[in-house]
Amino acid sequence: MNSSQPDQPIPADLPLGREVAYPGAYDPGLLFPIARAAQRAELGLDAARLPFVGADVWTAFELSWLNPHGKPQVGVAHFTFPAETPNIIESKSFKLYLNSLNNAVFADTQALRERLRADLSEAAWRGSESGLRSIGVRIVEAAGFDAEPMAELDGLDLDRLDVECTHYLPAPELLGSRRSEALVTETLTSRLLKSNCPVTGQPDWASVQIHYSGHPIDQAGLLRYIVSFRNHTGFHENCVERMFIDIWQRCQPLQLAIWARYTRRGGLDINPFRSSHPQAIPANVRTARQ
């Protein structure tokens, strides 16, 4: 089946999909913010009245810098971008920015953390009428690598179902709930979420966890719906928001939370979380495929 069109026009100066020389010096100007507004408008969302809260949790596995003696240091960085930031950061520009730190000298890890937080906060909140706010940054130094956990998403595995799949573009009509049955609270998971990069067309693979309270969601229909993203072109964050809106409108749960963990590309993974109600963001624990 044909791929769907991107959820918004792709800027001509976007570094993703173009051959770009890797930087030799620190350059925060490499960060390329993309406004969330156009993507959300496609879903009928008003930025001032979003039906969800949450965050985009990134992991950078290829972080390096120099200490004051010129000795290279390595680390793993965890970034948390609130869902209300007006911008997402285009992933290749993020990678280029991180590479611009390779020959930069920092007094210590705290100094690096403060620089990352300042640069990324400015890009994520650029254009915000409420002014600059911060994002979360945590750096794991090499001595802590062996304590970094790995686990699969908890929940009932939808992939156990032997269903026939015929839709490969988002098909919300596949969703439904059994309104005559008692309310339940359950967590459902799948490893079959796949979408495509809006620029390069490369596949983006993910596991997804759906936790809800309400009338039972039809599991076979939900799995078919997850599979229907297979030829869809969209950024990770927008795919999860589209999924949230479709389930919220079609199944009408009392509460809903969606957590998707996408496999890494260029040393970066992106893990969007959206919830109908305030709650702690899940721990940034990678899955086996990440």
165 classed as catalytic: no
Q: Is 266 annotated as a binding residue?
A: yes
Exactly one of 7, 56, 119, 197 is catalytic; which is it? 197
- 82 neighbors 135 (Cβ within 8 angstroms): yes
**Phi and psi angles of residue 121, each rounded to the nearest 5 degrees, phi first:** -65, -40
Closest CA to 36 of 20, 55, 17, 18: 55
Q: Is 173 annotated as a binding residue?
A: no
Q: Is 90 annotated as a binding residue?
A: yes
Q: Is 194 annotated as a binding residue?
A: no
CA angle 72, 74, 77 (to 5 degrees): 145
The pairing of beta strand 184-196 with beta strand 156-157: parallel
Tokens of 26: 């620190």
Exactly one of 56, 204, 246, 269 is catalytic; which is it? 204
DSSP designation for 100? T
CA distance 285 to 151: 6
Q: Is 237 annotated as a binding residue?
A: yes
SS3 of 209, please?
Answer: strand
Q: Is 92 annotated as a binding residue?
A: yes
Beta strands per DSSP E along the chain = 33-35, 53-66, 72-82, 87-89, 136-141, 156-157, 184-196, 203-214, 255-262, 268-275
Angle between helix 236-251 and helix 219-227 axes, rounded to 10 deg: 150
- 112 neighbors 106 (Cβ within 8 angstroms): yes
Interacting residues of 88 by C-beta distance below 8 A, sequence separation 6+: 33, 34, 36, 56, 81, 124, 235, 237
197 classed as catalytic: yes
Q: Which residues are annotated as a binding site for NADPH?
A: 91-92, 265-266
Q: Which residues are annotated as a binding site?
A: 89-92, 236-237, 265-266
Q: Which residues are annotated as a binding site for substrate?
A: 89-91, 236-237
- Where in the sequence numbering do the catalytic residues fall? 197, 204
